[in-house]
A and B are shown apart, each in its own frame.
Chain A
Amino acid sequence: MKNHAFPFSALVGQEEMREALILNAVDPRVGGVLIRGGKGTAKTTAARALADLLPEKGDGKRMVELPLGSSEDRVAGMLDAEHAIKTGEIRFEPGILAKADGNVLYVDEINLLEDRIVDLLLEASASGVNRVERDGISHAHPSRFTLIGTMNPDEGELRPQFLERFGMCVNVVQETDEGKRMEIVTRRMDFERDPVTFRSGFDSEQAALRKRIADARKLLSGTSPNPGVVRSAARIVSHLGVESCRADVAIVRAAHARAAFCGMGIPAREDVLRATRLVMPHRIETEPFDEDRGPMEGFEEWFGTV
C-alpha cells in the first residue's frame, strides 16, 4: 500500500497520545482510543500515522476512515439497487462497517457524527456484528474494529454511551516546550516540501517500531490475563468510583499490552499505572471544566500506598 502519511516515528511530544495509539496497535482488545484536543495538536496526523504501524494484512487494508457526512446506507451497507434493477435479485452491498472488520476504524471530528451513525457504531462495537434490517435486506456480517476517534471538545461532547465504548481517552494540549515546538514545525515543513524524502528518512525508525509491535503481539498471544492485574484493576476502578466493568477490562488489556511492548510477560506496577491514566479519564464523572482538579488528581499518591 502506498502511504503518504506523516510517519508515526517523526511525531514529537504528545507522549500519552502516542502511547495510547501504540498500545492499540499491539492489542486491538484494548478497545480503541478517543483523542480530544484543540486545533494544532497533531491528533489527526497521529491517528492517521498509526495505519503504517499496523500489521500487514492480505487485503492491504489496515485503517478505514469514516467520513463525517456518510449516510446510514454507506456505513451499514444497503440494497444493491443497480443489481436489483438489472437482475431482479435482492443483494446486499457492504458498507464501511464491513470494510472496517478486522481493521482500525478512524473517525475524525467524531463528536459531530449524526446520531443514527453513532447508533450503528455503538451496536457494531458492542456485538461485533453489523445487522442490517432495512430496504428488504436482512443481513448480518462480522464487524469487529478498533475505533479511533479525534475531536475538539469545543464543538460539543460525545453521548455517554458512545464515550464509554472507547477503551482509552487522551486529552492533548499544545506543546509548550519551545524546542519541541520548533522541531514540530520544522518536521512538518520538511514533510510538506518533500514527503517521499522525509518519509525515507524515518524508514529505519518506522521499521524498528513495527518490529517492536509485532514482537509484542507475539509475546501477548502466549499470555493470558494475570489474576493479580485483574484484582489491581478492580481496586483501582472501585477507588475511582466507576461502575462499568469495561474499565477493568481495558486496564488489564492495556497493562498487558504495555508490558509486552516492553518485552515483559507480566505487567509491572508502572504498566498498570500508565494503563489507568489512559483508560480512566473519560469514565470518571467530574466537572469537565475543572482544570485545577483533574479527574485523576491524587490517584498516584493513592496508588503508591496500595
Chain B
Amino acid sequence: MVRDGLRKYTFPFTGIKNNETPKKAVRCALASPNVKSMLICGPGGTGKTVLAESTGSLAPERKTHVIPLGATEEMVFGGIDLEKALGRGERVLSSSILGRADGGIVIAENLNLMPEHLAYKLLNATETGSITVEREGISATYHSDFLLVATMRPDEGALSEHLLDRFDMCVFTSPPKDLDTRAEVVQSSLEFHDDPEGFVSRHRKEEAAESKAIAEARGRSRYTSIPEGYCAAISEVCSGLNVAGHRGDIAVMNCARAFAALDSRDVANLEDLKDAASVCLEHRRNDDGAQPAKEMPEEENEGPGEESGEPEGKSPGESGEESGEQQDGPSENRDRECNASGDRQETPDGDPPPPALDPEEEIFGIGEAYEVIDYLSRDDRGPAGNLGGKRAKDRSDGRSGRTIGYRIPKGRINDIALCASIVAAAPHQASREKGGLAIVIEKGDLRERVRERRRGTTILFVVDGSGSMGAQKRMVAVKGAILSMLKDAYQKRDEIGMVVFRIDRAEEILEPTKSILRAYKALEDVPTGGRTPLIHGLLKGHEILGGKASKDTMPAMVILTDGRCNVSFTPGKPPLEEMLSTARALSGTGIKFIVIDTEAGRLRFGLALDLCRSLGGTYLKLDDLNAEHIEKSVRIAIKE
C-alpha cells in the first residue's frame, strides 16, 4: 500500500485479471532478495500503475515510497537538513526518499520523463545499496537497500540502452486479450473506484495468502540453488541474444531461484530458467535476429530456447491461457499505423489538378507515413543511436525549463533559487545580526537556478522543384518525411516548414509549424517543373530562418538538390558562381545547413558537395530517397 495517508486503499494484486506475465514478474521480484529493480513498460491504460502499486499490497511489511517526476536530487538522495541548519547552525544530512526507503519499495512512474542524471543515480543506488551525498557542505554515505519499480510508456520517449541494462527485470503490459477479460478488468476497475474498501475486503483473504506465499518464498530463495549445467546454458542463451555484460546472466539466475522458491522447490528447473529469461533478457537483447525487437511483447512468454535454436520447443508448463497472450500484443496496431496512409499515394479523386503553368508541371501526393522509430528497435541501436525518443536537452539560461540544480551566480541574478539561498545561509545564522528575522540572507548566500529545457528545432526543407529527374519522387519523399516528423509525439517542440524553388522563384509552401493539420493542408498540392533557381531557394530559406536562432530554437535548413543551378538571382551573373558566393555569405548566420544530394545517374558533377562546403554544412548522399531515409538522416545530422 502506498502509505501517504491520503489513499487508504490500493488495488489488490489478486484483483488484477490480466497481464499474467507481468504479474509473475512482480511475484518474482518480491520473492527474491537479490532482485533490485523492475521496469514495467506498456501503452497507456494497460495496467502499469496498478501493477506497480500492487507490490505494496503484496508486501505490506515493506514500506512503499513514491518518487514524483518533479522531485529534485536532494529530496531523493539527501542534502542539508534545512531546519537543523537554521535552528542550530549545523550541517546535517536531511531525510530523503531513499534514506527512508531502506528495506522498502520505491515506485518511480514515467521514469523516461525523469531527468536522466537522476535516473542513472537511482539505478546505481539499486545496484550498490549505498548512496553518497556530496553537496552543500554535506559529505555522507548511507546504506539503502530497496526494490525499485519503475514504469514507462514507450511512446513518450526512450530510455538509453545503458539505463535499460541496469534493470534486473523488464516486463510489458498489454491490453486484455479477449472481450470477457476486458469486461472483467473494466468492471473491477469501476468497482474498486466506487467502493475501494469493499473491493479490497473482498480480496483480503486471497491477497493475504498470496503475500504469505511470497514472504515464504523470499526466505527460501536464499537457499535455492541452480544445477551446475544450467549456468552454462544461461551464458549460452545470453550470448545467443548478444546480451552485453554480465548483468543479464546474474538477473536470470536470481529470478530462476525466486521462481523455484515460489514453487516451493530448492532447486531451479528448466521451467524457472525460461520464465526468468523471459523477464530478464528481453530488454537486453542485442541480437540482429530475424525477429525485430519491436515484436517483443508478443514473445514475452517464449523461453529463450526457441530463439537460440535449442531443441526443447514449447515447455509443457506454459498454460493455454498464457500462450494465448502471445497473440494479443500490439502487432495489429502497428500494422494499422504502417498502413494508415497507404492509400494516400494519389491525390484524392475528384480534385481537379490546378491550372498547369507548364506542361511538365505535376502534383504529387504525400508519401507513405511510416512508423516512428520504436524505442527498442534495431535502428535505434545502430549508428543512429537512440534518436527515436531523445529530446534535445540543453542547459537553459532563461527562466523556463525544469530546475535541475543551483549554482553561485556570476554577475546579475535573474532567476533566484530562494530555497537554495536559504540553505546556503543557514549554517551562518548563529553568527549573524538578525534584526527580528529568523534568517538573514547575505549576498554571498544567493543561489540561482540551473534549468534544463527541451530545446526545439526549426527545420526548413528547401527543395528543388524543377523539372529535373526525380522531382516527383523527391516531393513525395519530403512531404512524407515532414508529416512523419510532425506526427512523432516527442518531437513536438520542433517546427517544420518547406520552401520549393522552381521556374524563377522560391515559394514558402509551408510556414514553419508544429501542426500536422496545417502541414497536411499546405502540402497537399506542391507543383513541380521548370528551371532551377537554387539561389532564390537559399535566400528565401535564410529570410524565413534568419530570425529564428535563439535559446529556444535552433534553425536548420535541409536543402535537397543536385547542386545544379541555372537561374541567377542578379541578372547577368553566372548562376553557379553566384550560388557559391551566396552560400559562403550564409555560412556564418547561425543556421545549421544540411545538404542532401539528389544527384543520380552516371554522369555526376558533385555540385551539391561544393554547395555544402561553401555553406559549411553537413553533406548527405542518400542511395534511395524516401521519406524514412530523409527523416533519419536529418535527425542524425541535426544532432551532430
- Contact assessment for A133 and B44 in the assembled complex, using a CB-CB cutoff below 8 Å: no
Give residues 82-141 of A contacting B (CB, 8 Å). 84-90, 114-116, 119-120, 122-123, 126-129, 131-138, 140-141
Instruction: Please tell me which stretch of B181-189, B355-363, B613-621 contacts chain A, meaning at least 4 of its Cβ atoms lie within 8 angstroms of it.
Output: B181-189
Q: Name the distance in Å between B460's Cβ and chain A's nearest Cβ.
A: 17
- Contact assessment for A159 and B492 in the assembled complex, using a CB-CB cutoff below 8 Å: yes
Give per-residue flags for B27-64: 1 if the beta carbon is below 8 A from chain A beta carbons, else 0: 00000000000000001111101000000000000000
- Inter-chain CA distance A127–B52, complex, in Å, is 12
- Contact assessment for B46 and A85 in the assembled complex, using a CB-CB cutoff below 8 Å: no
- Inter-chain CA distance A247–B176, complex, in Å, is 13
- Contact assessment for B68 and A133 in the assembled complex, using a CB-CB cutoff below 8 Å: yes
Contacts of B153 in A (CB 8 A): 160-161
Instruction: Please tell me which stretch of B79-87, B123-131, B203-211, B622-630 contacts chain A, meaning at least 4 of its Cβ atoms lie within 8 angstroms of it.
Output: B79-87
- Contact assessment for B516 and A288 in the assembled complex, using a CB-CB cutoff below 8 Å: yes
Contacts of A234 in B (CB 8 A): 179, 182-183, 186
Is A287 part of the contact surface with B, judged by Cβ < 8 Å? yes
Give residues 263-306 of A contacting B (CB, 8 Å). 285-289, 292
Give residues 205-248 of A contacting B (CB, 8 Å). 224-225, 227, 230-231, 233-235, 237-238, 241, 243-248
Q: Name the distance in Å between A35's Cβ and chain B's nearest Cβ.
A: 16
Is B469 part of the contact surface with A, judged by Cβ < 8 Å? no
Is B109 part of the contact surface with A, judged by Cβ < 8 Å? yes
Tell whether A89 pairs with B45 under 8 Å between CB atoms, given A234-B179, A287-B340, A289-B520: no
- Inter-chain CA distance A129–B429, complex, in Å, is 36
Contacts of A238 in B (CB 8 A): 179, 182
- Contact assessment for B190 and A81 in the assembled complex, using a CB-CB cutoff below 8 Å: no
- Inter-chain CA distance A248–B7, complex, in Å, is 24
Tell whether A245 pairs with B176 under 8 Å between CB atoms, given A88-B439, A134-B75: yes
Is B489 part of the contact surface with A, judged by Cβ < 8 Å? yes
Give per-residue flags for A140-162: 1 if the beta carbon is below 8 A from chain B beta carbons, else 0: 11100000000001111101110
Contacts of B5 in A (CB 8 A): 140
- Inter-chain CA distance A132–B68, complex, in Å, is 7
- Inter-chain CA distance A30–B230, complex, in Å, is 52
Tell whether A79 pairs with B68 under 8 Å between CB atoms, given A115-B454, A238-B182: no
- Contact assessment for A135 and B69 in the assembled complex, using a CB-CB cutoff below 8 Å: no
Q: Which of B97, B182, B402 has the most CB of A within 10 A?
A: B182
- Contact assessment for A154 and B515 in the assembled complex, using a CB-CB cutoff below 8 Å: yes
- Contact assessment for B517 and A224 in the assembled complex, using a CB-CB cutoff below 8 Å: no
Is A170 part of the contact surface with B, judged by Cβ < 8 Å? no
Looking at the complex, which one of A29, A140, A243, A252 makes contact with B4 (CB distance below 8 Å)? Answer: A140
Is B233 part of the contact surface with A, judged by Cβ < 8 Å? no
Looking at the complex, which one of B44, B70, B340 makes contact with A120 (CB distance below 8 Å)? Answer: B70
Q: Which of A29, A238, A286 has the most CB of B within 10 A?
A: A238
- Contact assessment for A157 and B70 in the assembled complex, using a CB-CB cutoff below 8 Å: no
- Contact assessment for A120 and B69 in the assembled complex, using a CB-CB cutoff below 8 Å: yes
- Contact assessment for B194 and A159 in the assembled complex, using a CB-CB cutoff below 8 Å: no
- Residue of A whose beta carbon sits closest to that of B186: A248
Contacts of A65 in B (CB 8 A): none
- Inter-chain CA distance A159–B47, complex, in Å, is 19
Q: Name the distance in Å between B126's Cβ and chain A's nearest Cβ.
A: 18
Looking at the complex, which one of B44, B330, B400, B438 makes contact with A86 (CB distance below 8 Å)? Answer: B438
Q: Name the distance in Å between A250's Cβ and chain B's nearest Cβ.
A: 10
- Residue of B whose beta carbon sits closest to that of A159: B489
- Contact assessment for A160 and B44 in the assembled complex, using a CB-CB cutoff below 8 Å: yes
Contacts of B182 in A (CB 8 A): 234, 237-238, 245, 248
Is A76 part of the contact surface with B, judged by Cβ < 8 Å? yes
- Contact assessment for B423 and A161 in the assembled complex, using a CB-CB cutoff below 8 Å: no
Contacts of A289 in B (CB 8 A): 516-517, 520-521
B: contact size bracket:
35 or more
Instruction: Please tell me which stretch of B254-262, B331-339, B561-569 contacts chain A, meaning at least 4 of its Cβ atoms lie within 8 angstroms of it.
Output: B331-339
- Inter-chain CA distance A89–B83, complex, in Å, is 7
Contacts of B438 in A (CB 8 A): 84-89
- Inter-chain CA distance A288–B70, complex, in Å, is 32
- Contact assessment for B419 and A81 in the assembled complex, using a CB-CB cutoff below 8 Å: yes
- Contact assessment for A241 and B333 in the assembled complex, using a CB-CB cutoff below 8 Å: yes
Is A249 part of the contact surface with B, judged by Cβ < 8 Å? yes
Is A175 part of the contact surface with B, judged by Cβ < 8 Å? no
- Inter-chain CA distance A275–B191, complex, in Å, is 20
Is B6 part of the contact surface with A, judged by Cβ < 8 Å? yes
Contacts of A19 in B (CB 8 A): none
- Contact assessment for B516 and A123 in the assembled complex, using a CB-CB cutoff below 8 Å: no
- Inter-chain CA distance A81–B76, complex, in Å, is 21
Q: Name the distance in Å between B1's Cβ and chain A's nearest Cβ.
A: 13
Is A16 part of the contact surface with B, judged by Cβ < 8 Å? no
- Contact assessment for A85 and B437 in the assembled complex, using a CB-CB cutoff below 8 Å: yes
Is B67 part of the contact surface with A, judged by Cβ < 8 Å? yes
- Contact assessment for B49 and A230 in the assembled complex, using a CB-CB cutoff below 8 Å: no
Tell whether A90 pairs with B515 under 8 Å between CB atoms, given A85-B439, A132-B70, A252-B186: no
- Contact assessment for B45 and A227 in the assembled complex, using a CB-CB cutoff below 8 Å: no
- Residue of B whose beta carbon sits closest to that of A134: B72
- Contact assessment for B70 and A134 in the assembled complex, using a CB-CB cutoff below 8 Å: yes
Is B418 part of the contact surface with A, judged by Cβ < 8 Å? yes
- Contact assessment for A249 and B515 in the assembled complex, using a CB-CB cutoff below 8 Å: no
- Inter-chain CA distance A120–B402, complex, in Å, is 12
- Residue of A whose beta carbon sits closest to that of B113: A119
Is B525 part of the contact surface with A, judged by Cβ < 8 Å? no
- Inter-chain CA distance A120–B87, complex, in Å, is 32
Contacts of A156 in B (CB 8 A): 492, 514-515
Q: Name the distance in Å between A82's Cβ and chain B's nearest Cβ.
A: 10
Is B369 part of the contact surface with A, judged by Cβ < 8 Å? yes
Is B348 part of the contact surface with A, judged by Cβ < 8 Å? yes
13 additional contacts, CB 8 Å, given A237-B182, A245-B182? A72-B70, A81-B418, A84-B82, A88-B439, A123-B69, A134-B72, A136-B419, A159-B490, A231-B179, A234-B183, A243-B43, A243-B44, A249-B190
19 contacting pairs across A/B (C-beta < 8 A): A85-B437, A86-B438, A90-B83, A115-B402, A119-B110, A133-B71, A134-B70, A135-B418, A140-B5, A140-B6, A154-B515, A160-B44, A238-B182, A244-B43, A245-B47, A248-B186, A249-B189, A249-B190, A253-B190
4 A-B pairs with the lowest CB-CB distances in the bound complex, closest first: A244-B45, A88-B438, A289-B520, A135-B419
